[in-house]
Amino acid sequence: MVLYLSSQKFGKDEFYLKEWINNHNNKILLIFNAMDVKGKEKINNNIKEDVSLLEKIGFDVNIIDLKEYFDKYAELKQICQNYNAFCVMGGNVFVLRQAMKYSGFDVFLKEINADDDYLYIGYSAGSCVLSEQLDILKTVDEPIDFYNKGEIIYDGIGLIRYTFIPHYKSNYHKAHLIDEIVNKCKNEKINYKAFKDGEVTIENTKRC
């Protein structure tokens, strides 16, 4: 699976996404659940913005709410199998991780991670969630049991072998907290990569 991971929105390498569409198809499934903590108005505004940006790149966008598939993995998988591209929005990484687990979307990602014909676009929390460990990110995101399942999940999906840190040295209202995370990673010898807004990394899960 190809990973297109950005700090904020879709970064400066959108030409790669246009080339990907030319070699595959333009259907993409947009996942917004990292935003669930923000409230309906904020969610709708961000979805509208992201749909517009993806459509300008050339994607045909459909939206899925993972909450509707909690404990219904077979149904979720049936829908996801109709797509080769997925876009996961930013928000709270711990809430997103819970939504992925309870719906089984994390299982689906692991099932397709060896197939080069799949594309995962993530930004901010949508990128961070692929890390092996999320614990250090609690400095900037509140680790809440949003869906009342009785747990906080600190294990990431593990498709990348480092901690993805977004909004580094950027115009971000919690920039000082990002600096704290980077310093802690350095001090505790945690493998990490920090990305400024606009920066993108493109990787293949076969080589991560």
pLDDT tens-digit profile of 39-96? 899 999 999 999 999 999 999 999 999 999 999 999 999 999 999 999 999 999 999 9
Sequence spans of domains, the chain? 2-204
**Hey, which CATH number is domain 2-204, 1.10.3720.10, 3.40.50.880, 3.40.50.300, 3.40.80.10?**
3.40.50.880
How much is the average pLDDT of 93-120?
97
Strand order in the sheet with 85-88: 60-64, 27-31, 85-88, 119-123, 2-6, 200-204
Cβ-based neighbour number of residue 147 at 10 Å:
17
Q: What's the pLDDT tens digit per position in 18-44?
A: 999 999 999 999 999 999 999 899 999
Beta bridge partners of 163: 192
What's the burial of 127, exposed, middle or buried (CB within 10 Å: 0-12/13-18/19+)? buried
How much is the average pLDDT of 99-111?
98
pLDDT number for residue 172: 83
